[in-house]
Amino acid sequence: MKESVYSICGMCTVRCPVKVEVEDGVVKWIEGNPNDPGMAGRLCAKGSAGLAMLYDYERPQHPMIREGKRGEGKWKKASWDEALDYIADKLQAIIKKYGAKAIALSDRGGPFRDIHRSFLRAIGSPNYYNHDCTCARNVQHAALSLFGSGRKTFNYDYGSCKHLVLYGRNVFESLRVKQAGNIMNMLDCGGKITYIDPRAAGTAMKATRYWAIRPGTDYALNLGIIHTVLRDKLYDAEFVNQWVLGLKELESFVVPYTPEWAAGETGIPANEIVEFANEIAADRPAVIFHPGWMVARYSDSFYSIRSSYILNALMGAFEAPGGLFFQKGPGDVGAKGLKSLLDTIPKPEEMRVDGCGWKHKHFEAGPGLLHLLYPAILSEDPYPVKAYIAFRHDPLLSLPDPEAQKKAFDKLDLLVAIDANYSETSWYADVLLPSATYLEKSSVLTTGKGLKPSFGLRKQAVEPRNDAKPDWWIFKSLAERLGAGEYFKFKDMEAFWEWQLEDTGVTVSDLEKKGFVALTDKPVWWNRLKDLKFKTPSKKIEFVSSRLEASGIESFKPYASPQKPDEGYYRLAFGRSPVHTHGRTQNNPVLSEIMPVNQLWLNDEEAKKLGVANGEQVRVTSADGSHSGTINVYVTEFIHPESVFMVHGFGRKVPWQTRGYNKGLGDYRFETGLLGVYDPVGGANSLMECFVKVEKEENA
């Protein structure tokens, strides 16, 4: 029997709508949902390789309970009842002794969180985390400081953009399928891309301007641009007068930051900065200064991102075609939204253990900051945390310094991993629960915000293989064992969908027709001079931020020049390849064949000094000398001499993943001593405040 099932891809966190062709219970074909004009069949390498993940035998197949020491790799196969009872018994003992607040859970964010967030809330813990301290927290906080709402308030109208400015946002390799297509269309229509990165990544190959900036000086560049824009009156005065608070303060702040000064910091010639500012002004408001996505990089990233947002405001790029637009939700088109289970459960009264939202008022409570959980576990201040559940999240390879993280994990009574992959964290866990892949499960319905808000469907395409279970079933079963079953009365996802849709007038069969239901026919644009809904107390874009000032934090931070590496040392940068999802696909049979291993990018002049040639082995050692490994070197003029670079996610240590095991090196292992180093205002880890020693490997 043949059937087509509409679903949402789960290979990365972009979550593209897909169509899955199933024949006699076997997935044969996955393509981008043809009903969505932005997808029209399009899919990335990872998307197609979902098939390979589904049918791979090197994935967790049944629940496992640890028998040896943590990380030793000795496991006992368990039934679901055994494994869930084991977890529930441990959690109950922890709740009895320390309270439910001693349980923490982390995920990778996104639109499918309702069930597991509800689980945590229903048992009474406030300690929900996501991965965002190693991703977009700095962007989120920068947006909050200016607009009073988070980064997802806006999306980008790439198709009509005339000039897209990207600071290491590597759009053609850190892929979002629709976005990549739209940006390519923009280039075809004569649009420009300025790509700024110490390394000429894939996006540089298509850019109309490439600036090989000195690492860590993006903020200096932006200050130089803002100086020029204000000095030469290149901004959109009408928009700025209407919406901006604090222009005068900004003007006096940027006086010393001339383009000539910026040139000295960044290595970008002053005349090019001035030329760029004029070009941008000619193209406004159809310009986008992309604030970045994964910007857990430097300790001043917050101010750097904030200055990009400020440039968007100066260009009047909000709610303008070709600029940034407000994402509209169901309420903005007169429709009712989906019901949320989380909203039906009373919030725990306990404060977050990481202090976000109360001790650290400038850090949003929401998903908190996971790196602050580690010191709390170690110090038991303000209270002990004794259990940690990592749900499809791998902190040991996304946060810095796995050995430092393990010291905190060793104080836990229970570490659980729920994953469809063998993560590094799962290998260190007490219990590993195999969750079904996205093709084997239905998930909660999603709300897609944008110019045309919609609801989306991820429907199970095939039965779970082996003994994997959908995550909604895992959390429902755990909640029932912990006496919180009253909130989880739904029989299955289909029943849950019916409940989610109750107020909307949309039915499940409506969703099944195309995989989504648009809540409006026409894109919704607001009047950009009258109707913009900024959520700040002033209802304006606050260059001088009431949110920051309330915490005694300056709105404009004087620039501090980043440290230069010592002789023989380099700043370690990391990033993406178009065929791998962070650390989750290195063992995928299809993707590991295309890219089995990473290399170390090294500047050609530096390579001469070190006496290494392209393709030779080098030894890389962490700044404190505690971690070291060898890797093939890629010698190139297209990386700044202060930097070396490797694709993230390699150097895996789970032996059951034979294709990824010990291939290449993992940047996270070299980030020693950085678990507690973060942007003090943005909150995200400063992953690139990392220096490594590089030497020729003599024994190679």
Among 126, 148, 159, 181, binds another protein (CB under 8 A): 181
Minimum CB distance to another protein, residue 455 (Å): 25
Does the protein bind another protein through residue 461 (CB under 8 A)? Answer: no
Placement of tokens 């055994």 in the chain: 82
Question: Chain centroid to CA 84: how far?
Answer: 30
Q: Write the binding mask 630 to 649 for another protein: x where contact by CB under 8 A, - elsewhere.
A: ------xxx-----------
Among 61, 79, 85, 205, binds another protein (CB under 8 A): 205
Placement of tokens 């075609």 in the chain: 321
Among 267, 589, 673, 680, binds another protein (CB under 8 A): 589
Q: Where are the alpha helices (DSSP H) in 595-698?
A: 604-610, 667-670
Contact 134, 145 (CB under 8 A): no
Q: Considering the complex, state which of residue 31 and residue 413 has its C-beta at the smaller distance from another protein.
A: 31
Q: Where are the alpha helices (DSSP H) in 177-286?
A: 177-188, 218-231, 237-243, 247-253, 259-266, 270-283
Among 30, 262, 273, 654, binds another protein (CB under 8 A): 30
Placement of tokens 């919180």 in the chain: 484
Contact 660, 626 (CB under 8 A): no
Minimum CB distance to another protein, residue 45 (Å): 4
Among 196, 295, 591, 674, binds another protein (CB under 8 A): 591
Contact 7, 515 (CB under 8 A): yes
Placement of tokens 């292992």 in the chain: 669
Stretch that binds another protein, among 152-160, 172-180, 538-546, 553-561 (CB under 8 A): 172-180
Does the protein bind another protein through residue 578 (CB under 8 A)? Answer: yes
Minimum CB distance to another protein, residue 178 (Å): 9
Does the protein bind another protein through residue 208 (CB under 8 A)? Answer: yes
Stretch that binds another protein, among 48-56, 285-293, 359-367, 373-381 (CB under 8 A): 48-56
Does the protein bind another protein through residue 175 (CB under 8 A)? Answer: yes
Pairing verdict, β 643-647 and 64-66 = unpaired
Does the protein bind another protein through residue 94 (CB under 8 A)? Answer: no
| Tokens found for residue 131 | 């991965």
Among 23, 89, 549, 593, binds another protein (CB under 8 A): 593
Does the protein bind another protein through residue 188 (CB under 8 A)? Answer: yes
Question: Chain centroid to CA 483: how far?
Answer: 33
CA atoms lying within 13 Å on the CB side of residue 146: 31
Among 8, 51, 245, 397, binds another protein (CB under 8 A): 51
Does the protein bind another protein through residue 427 (CB under 8 A)? Answer: no
Does the protein bind another protein through residue 273 (CB under 8 A)? Answer: no
Helices (H) and strands (E) in the chain, counts: 23, 27
CA distance 692 to 680: 23
Total residues binding another protein (CB under 8 A): 44
Contact 100, 124 (CB under 8 A): yes
Q: Considering the complex, state which of residue 232 and residue 593 has its C-beta at the smaller distance from another protein.
A: 593
Minimum CB distance to another protein, residue 404 (Å): 35
Does the protein bind another protein through residue 573 (CB under 8 A)? Answer: no
- Residue 334 CB neighbour total at 10 angstroms: 8
Stretch that binds another protein, among 294-302, 494-502, 504-512, 593-601 (CB under 8 A): 593-601
Does the protein bind another protein through residue 597 (CB under 8 A)? Answer: no
Q: Considering the complex, state which of residue 210 and residue 309 has its C-beta at the smaller distance from another protein.
A: 210
Among 207, 226, 396, 541, binds another protein (CB under 8 A): 207
Which residue type does 236 have? Answer: D
CA distance 353 to 369: 10
Placement of tokens 């000429």 in the chain: 200
Stretch that binds another protein, among 44-52, 69-77, 625-633, 672-680 (CB under 8 A): 44-52
- Backbone dihedral angles phi then psi of residue 673, each to the nearest 5 degrees: 75, 5
Terminal Cα-to-Cα distance of the chain (whole angstroms):
55
Does the protein bind another protein through residue 204 (CB under 8 A)? Answer: yes
Q: Considering the complex, state which of residue 35 and residue 208 has its C-beta at the smaller distance from another protein.
A: 208
Among 206, 336, 452, 619, binds another protein (CB under 8 A): 206
- Give Rg (Cα) of the chain: 25
- Backbone dihedral angles phi then psi of residue 289, each to the nearest 5 degrees: -95, 100
CA distance 684 to 678: 5
Among 180, 315, 436, 654, binds another protein (CB under 8 A): 180
Tell me if the bond preceding 382 is cis, omega within 30° of 0: yes
Minimum CB distance to another protein, residue 31 (Å): 5
Q: Considering the complex, state which of residue 561 and residue 658 has its C-beta at the smaller distance from another protein.
A: 658
Minimum CB distance to another protein, residue 298 (Å): 24
Does the protein bind another protein through residue 292 (CB under 8 A)? Answer: no
Closest by CA to 140, choosing from 365, 299, 447, 370, is 365
Q: Considering the complex, state which of residue 182 and residue 686 has its C-beta at the smaller distance from another protein.
A: 182
Residue 415: Cβ-neighbour burial (10 angstroms; 0-12, 13-18, 19+)? buried
Does the protein bind another protein through residue 202 (CB under 8 A)? Answer: yes
Site residues, another protein (CB under 8 A): 29-32, 40-49, 51-52, 172-173, 175, 177, 180-181, 184, 188, 200, 202, 204-210, 578-579, 589-591, 593-595, 636-638
